Structure 1
Amino acid sequence: MNIGISSACFYPIIELEKSISYMKNLGFNSGEIFINTFCELEQDFLSIINEEKQKHNFTINSVHFFSSMYEPFLFDNYKKRRDDCIKVFKKICKATNFLGGKYYTFHGMRFSDFKYINRSLILDVYKELCYIASENNIKLAQENVSWCMSKDLDFLKFLKEELKGELYYTFDIKQAYKALENPMNYLDIMGKDLVNFHINDRSDKEICLLPGKGDVNYKEIFKKLNDINYKNSIIIEVYNENFKSTKEIIESKSFLENLICF
């Protein structure tokens, strides 16, 4: 496992095209790129990101997108709306592949009662999305998100059962706590299909902190990662208001490196 960081940590202070050199200067050699808007999907802009990646010898592990702008509508009952959003999805998958990313971190549907959703439609959409991702040599990595269907454990179990070998997963600690769930419940479901990990911390007063600044039981979590033989990246993902200086980020990286060694 190696320690990476998400460019989302610096939104909106650091523009995406400047974020790779910024993360590299903090001592990170890899991470997740968060594409913040549609113009950042254009080929000219992606070429700039790719040049920055090569210039700084930085590995892009995964790509995230401002998902609320379109992902929920991939599952809309109105077909023409779904079709338009599929076009955006294809563009993001193509961009992820171009940037050398392995995974597309995916939020998906907004939360609703699992009893009333159209499961047949949802499966059809997911199968299409997974196929498009594989055509672009990447994996679709469903993240647990507190405001999305993916916060629902039964929904994730449903996806896991129906999409074996097609769908993969991103785990986020803070999102588990925001959903009022034990993080281990998500890891138990994702299991060996976990490919991406967003790490953060929390306390009784703060829902999101840099790793090492709160009271998350990392020992339990890392034991589970070892049990499932997780070898991929550990990506620090917090909000820019969760730290006051870059020194804190460097300290957090060191904390995680010592934790992994232990």
Structure 2
Amino acid sequence: MEIGLSSAVFYPEVNTEDTLEIIKSLGFNTAEIFINSFLECEDDFVDKLLVKKHELNLNINSVHALSSIFEPFLFDEYKRRRDEMLEYFKKICRTGRKLGATCYTFHGMKYKNFDNINKDLICDIYKKLTYIAGENDIKLAQENVSWCMSSNFDYLKFLNDKNIENLFFTFDIKQAYKANKDPYQYIKIMNEKLVNFHINDRDNENVCLLPLRGNVDYKRIFRELKNVNYNGNLIIEVYRDNFFSYNEISDCKKKLEKFL
């Protein structure tokens, strides 16, 4: 288990290709790469990222994408729209494979009433998505996201019960609190299918803070992770306005490592 850093923390000030050097300079050896535009999925661009990855000896844990633009429409009732969005999904998967990522952090379907969704269609779509991800040697890691169906415990239990091959989970602390849900319940539901973890903090005034800056009970978080045999990495993912200087991030890493 390592403490990693998401390139998303530098959005929108730093271009994706320039974040790798910053991540390494702050003492991180593991990163999640956030794809901020589809231009960043083009072969020439990904090849440049790959060269930097090797030069820096940086491990790419996972890829994330500008999800709100296309992921919800992968579940649209209109097939032509689904098929078009699927081409973008394939681009992200191919990018993840080239970068050597182990998983794709996935937001997915926009929130709806669980009783009214087309469950058969959703299962069929997940099977198609997980198959495509598997073809690219990466795991599809459904993240709990406050504005998505994945914030709903019943929805996650439903997905779990279907035993869809190559479907796993990413847990994000801040997203649990933004959804006003018990974070520990998410970990219990995801259980041993949890393969990626976004670590951050919060308090009564702030929805997101650097880890150990708020009131999240990290001792219990790590205890719950141990209970589900989690052995993946912990990826710091916060917003750019959650820190003033980059040194705050490296200091945070050192403090978190005491929990490992």
What does residue 181 of structure 1 align with? 181
Q: What one-letter code is carried by the residue in structure 1 that aligns with 2:20?
A: I
What does residue 29 of structure 1 align with? 29
For 1:91-170, list aligned pairs within 5 A.
91-170=91-170
Q: Give, in whole Å, the separation in 1 of the partners of 2:52 and 2:140.
A: 25
For 1:36-75, list aligned pairs within 5 A.
36-75=36-75
Per the normalisation by structure 1, the TM-score is 0.98
Does residue 1:82 correspond to 2:82, yes or no?
yes
Does residue 1:235 correspond to 2:232, yes or no?
no
For 1:236-251, list aligned pairs within 5 A.
236-251=236-251
Q: Give, in whole Å, the separation in 2 of the partners of 1:252 and 1:62.
A: 21
Give, in angstroms, the shift of residue 232 of structure 1. Answer: 1.0
- 2:250 counterpart SS class: helix
Give, in angstroms, the shift of residue 248 of structure 1. Answer: 1.1
1:170-197, Cα deviation, whole Å (9 max, x unpaired): 0000000000011001001000000000
Q: Give, in whole Å, the separation in 2 of the partners of 1:135 and 1:247.
A: 39
Q: What one-letter code is carried by the residue in structure 2 that aligns with 1:10?
A: F
C-alpha contact 1:127 1:163 (8 A) present in aligned 2: no
Q: Give, in whole Å, the separation in 2 of the partners of 1:38 and 1:159.
A: 28
- 1:111 counterpart SS class: coil
Higher mean alpha-carbon deviation, 161-170 vs 141-150, is at: 161-170
C-alpha contact 2:72 2:109 (8 A) present in aligned 1: yes
Structure 1, gaps ≥5 residues long: none
Of all paired residues, the percent bearing the same amino acid is: 54
What does residue 201 of structure 1 align with? 201
Q: Give, in whole Å, the separation in 2 of the partners of 1:120 and 1:50.
A: 39
Q: Give, in whole Å, the separation in 2 of the partners of 1:192 and 1:119.
A: 23
For 1:213-232, list aligned pairs within 5 A.
213-232=213-232
Structure 2, gaps ≥5 residues long: none
Q: Give, in whole Å, the separation in 1 of the partners of 2:172 and 2:87.
A: 27
Does residue 1:13 correspond to 2:17, yes or no?
no
Q: Give, in whole Å, the separation in 2 of the partners of 1:57 and 1:233.
A: 17
Displacement over 2 Å in runs of 4+: 163-166
1:146-191, Cα deviation, whole Å (9 max, x unpaired): 0000000000000011134431000000000000011001001000
Q: Give, in whole Å, the separation in 2 of the partners of 1:164 and 1:219.
A: 32
Q: Give, in whole Å, the separation in 2 of the partners of 1:242 and 1:163.
A: 37
- 1:204 counterpart SS class: coil
RMSD (Å) for aligned C-alpha atoms: 0.8
Give, in angstroms, the shift of residue 73 of structure 1. Answer: 0.4
Q: Give, in whole Å, the separation in 1 of the partners of 2:211 and 2:190.
A: 22
1:56-76, Cα deviation, whole Å (9 max, x unpaired): 000000000000110000001
Q: Give, in whole Å, the separation in 2 of the partners of 1:171 and 1:183.
A: 9
Q: What one-letter code is carried by the residue in structure 2 that aligns with 1:176?
A: A
